[in-house]
Amino acid sequence: MAFEGLTERLQSALSGLRRKGKVTDADLRDTMREIRMALLEADVDYTVVKKFVREVREKAAGQKVLEGLNPEQQIVKIVNEELTMMMGDEAVPLNQSKKIPTIIMMVGLQGAGKTTTAGKLALKLKQEQNARPLMIAADIYRPAAIDQLETLGQQIDVPVFAMGTDVDPREIVQKGLAKADELKADYVFIDAAGRLQIDEALMQELADIKKIAAPDEILLVVDAMTGQNATETAQGFNDRLGITGVVLTKLDGDTRGGAALSIREVTQKPIKFVGQGEKMTDLDVFYPERMASRILGMGDLMTLIEKAQKDVDEKKAAEQAEKMRQNTFDFNDFIDQMDQVQNMGPMEDLLKMIPGVANNPALQNIQMDDKQMDHMRAIVLSMTPAEREDPDLINPSRRRRLAAGAGRPIVEVNRMIKQFNQMKSMMSKVMNGNTGQMEQMMSAL
Ligand code: GDP
């Protein structure tokens, strides 16, 4: 996941303070030097880093941090606040036109994720506002861009206006807007062309389309994996077109994350959404504060809760909670629950959103990768219905059969059943309000 290296470096810089009884001016200077290095290594723009370090220092001095109690905690708080400010303070919604349709123009370099993001946003508006979007295929240069948009349109059931690759994009946009009126579409997405690099011909074409369509929103789509270049690209598009917002894509990838931290400061335009996967539902509103907490390894519980609310079947969850309380949770429930959790995304990423797990080295080593979940699933699927409902039936000879059926070693079967029983008993205690033992277990980890 993005920011891993940065999180580690920042935590190590800040934990240097924790180990000290009293924090001196020199300690603070060392810490700030480490933070500065960490940000630069994560590809954050140099001028942005300079400003950040200066502001943290000034704030720390102004609040007389070193003289107060818990200087380390106060500095973490200041760093968190400044990181948040650097990324824009508050979430900014899409611009809305007073009359329909609201026109959104997608711009960015080729491969940044414009087409995909147009589809994701259209789906989001459809699901959340019952909107009726239309997407206009105006990228006539990238091979297959039009096909891709049409396929996406079918997948999410949103109409696409296309005229092939032999018509001038300006004309496509003009006709597309007329089509939007005819269809009474309330949102129009213009999937404009991109290039591998900014060039004059492209900028002229985009400027012309802007003139024709008078978009309410010009969203610059930026691939977070492109590091330093991302800020330059953003500046280039902003200078020429006056973008109104940014979408950062591929934050699910292994990026150093600097782009996320610099773009807002450099363009002064808000990051509105982040793309965190290839699926049509992998688009999230960008909350600077939550992102700052995630970067500092403080977890992102709000996002986790929202994901859970969105992806988890509430009725099933309530049934399972009741079974946990009554200690009748069985392997069928276990598999249901595993399905629901896996729908939410890679386990490793989910765990990191839990405060305490994110920055607790012991808990970070919890072995819960997705492959392991698949192995567990294979073992459960080898059980007979009776065994799934009554795990006590599973005696040693049955365990051998399960191991053979799932193609896993017997020790793994034993371990899984043991963990299942422990979890069941812990859940039942938690659900009945007795959490003492759970805390004991967690602290023993
Ligand atoms: P365009 O040239 O700007 O229209 O880019 P595309 O929409 O075709 O995207 C390029 C590639 O990036 C495609 O393979 C997308 O599936 C992928 N992509 C887009 N957004 C994301 C994202 O948030 N995460 C990941 N992992 N892949 C993405």
User: Residue 358 is part of a domain; what is its CATH number?
Assistant: 1.10.260.30
Closest CA to 352 of 368, 339, 334, 372: 368
Ligand 1 atom nearest to 282, measured from its CA: 23
CATH code (residue 293): 3.40.50.300
Report which protein residue has its CA nearest ligand 1's atom 10. Answer: 111
Ligand 1 within 6 A of CB of 110:
yes
Tell whether ligand 1 has an atom less than 6 A from the beta carbon of residue 276. Answer: yes
**Residue 220 scores a pLDDT above 80:** yes
Bridge-based pairing state of the strands 271-275 and 160-161: unpaired
Higher pLDDT pick, 322 / 402:
402
**Which residue's CA is the nearest one to ligand 1's atom 6?**
113
Q: Is the pLDDT of residue 6 over 60?
A: yes
Residue 308 domain-assigned (yes or no): yes
Give the percent of the chain with pLDDT over 70: 84
**Is 371 labelled a binding residue?**
no
User: Same domain, yes or no, for 34 and 132?
Assistant: no
pLDDT tens sequence across 340-393:
777 777 666 666 666 555 555 555 555 556 777 888 888 998 999 899 988 889
What tokens does 356 get?
Answer: 């305490």
Q: Please tell me the distance from the alpha carbon of residue 417 to that of residue 411, in angstroms, as a whole number.
A: 10
What values do phi and psi take at 116, rounded to 5? -60, -45
Per-residue pLDDT, averaged over 100-123, amounts to: 96
Please say if the pLDDT value at position 437 is more than 50: no
In a domain, 93, yes or no: no
Per DSSP, the residues of 291-342 read HHHHHTT---HHHHHHHHHHHS-HHHHHHHHHHHHTT---HHHHHHHHHHHH
109, 64: one domain: no
What is the atom index within ligand 1 of the atom nearest the CA of 283? Answer: 23
Looking at residue 438, its pLDDT comes to 44
> What pLDDT, on a 0 to 100 scale, did the predictor assign at position 294?
81
Q: How many domains does the structure of the chain reveal?
A: 3
Same domain, 252 and 395: no
Highest mean pLDDT among 14-28, 139-153, 256-270, 427-441 belongs to: 139-153
Handedness of CA 379, 383, 385, 389 (dihedral sign): negative
Measured CA to CA in angstroms, residue 95 lies from 105, 207, 209, 322, 348 at distances of 12, 19, 18, 44, 34
Residue at which a domain ends, from 55, 87, 119: 87
User: For 76-98, what is the mean pLDDT?
Assistant: 90
Q: What are phi and psi of 96, to 5 degrees?
A: -120, 140
Q: For ligand 1, is residue 275 a contact (CB within 6 Å)?
A: yes
Q: Is residue 94 part of a domain?
A: no
Answer yes or no: is the C-beta of 250 below 6 A from any ligand 1 atom: yes
Tell me the residue range of the domain where 323 lies: 304-444
Helix ranges (H only) for 19-137 are 25-41, 46-62, 71-87, 114-129
* Closest among 240, 248, 293, 290 to 273, alpha carbons compared: 248
Ligand 1 within 6 A of CB of 107: no
Q: Are residues 83 and 106 in the same domain?
A: no
User: Which of 298, 321, 337 is a domain's end point?
Assistant: 298
| Mutation probe of ligand 1 site: the residue of 220, 249, 251, 285 with most atoms within 8 A of C-beta | 249
Q: How many C-beta atoms surround the C-beta of residue 356 within 10 A?
A: 12
To the nearest whole number, what is the mean pLDDT of the chain? 84
Q: Are 116 and 123 in contact (CB under 8 A)?
A: no
Looking at 15-29, 191-205, 277-291, 306-320, which range is the least confident one?
306-320
Q: Is residue 225 part of a domain?
A: yes
The verdict on residue 97 lying in a domain is no
**Are 124 and 227 within one domain?**
yes
Please give the distance, rounded to the nearest whole angstrom, from the Cα atom of residue 36 to the centre of ligand 1.
Answer: 31
Query: Mean of the pLDDT values across residues 149-163?
Result: 96
Whether residues 292 and 311 share a domain: the answer is no
Domain shared by 185 and 41, yes or no: no
Tell whether ligand 1 has an atom less than 6 A from the beta carbon of residue 119. Answer: no
Flag whether 115 is marked binding.
yes
Give the distance (Å) from ligand 1 centre to CA of residue 116: 6
Q: Indicate whether 130 and 68 sit together in one domain.
A: no
Most ligand 1 atoms within 8 A of CB, residue of 107, 116, 152 to mutate:
116
CA of 112 to the centre of ligand 1 (A): 6
Residue 443: per-residue pLDDT = 43
Pair (131, 67) in one structural domain: no
Q: What is the mean pLDDT of residues 84-96?
A: 91
Within-domain flag for 113: yes
User: What type of residue is 275?
Assistant: G
116 Cβ closer than 6 Å to some ligand 1 atom: yes
Per-residue confidence (pLDDT) for residue 350, from 0 to 100: 67
Going by C-beta distance under 8 Å and a sequence separation of 6 or more, which residues neighbour residue 409?
403
What phi and psi, each to the nearest 5 degrees, are found at residue 136?
-105, 125
Can you give the CATH number for the domain in which 60 is found? Answer: 1.20.120.140
Q: How far is C-alpha 374 from the geometric centre of its chain's CA atoms?
A: 23
Give per-residue burial for 275-294: e unless 16+ CB within 10 Å, then b: bbbeebebbbbbbbbbbbbb
User: Are 294 and 317 found together in one domain?
Assistant: no
Residue nearest to atom 16 of ligand 1 (CA): 278
Whole-complex ipTM? 0.99
Separation of alpha carbons 271 and 88, rounded Å: 8
Question: For ligand 1, what atom is nearest to the CA of residue 120?
Answer: 20
Please give the Cα distance from 253 to 10 (Å, whole number).
Answer: 20
Residues 51 and 131 in one domain: no
In a domain, 134, yes or no: yes
Q: Is the CB of 231 under 6 A from ligand 1?
A: no
Report the half-sphere exposure of 64 (CA within 13 A, side-chain side). 3
Q: Is the pLDDT at 229 greater than 70, yes or no?
A: yes
Looking at the structure, tell me whether residues 336 and 429 fall in a common domain.
Answer: yes
Q: Final residue of a domain: which of 251, 280, 298?
A: 298
Q: How would residue 177 be classed by pLDDT, with cut points 50, 70 and 90?
A: very high
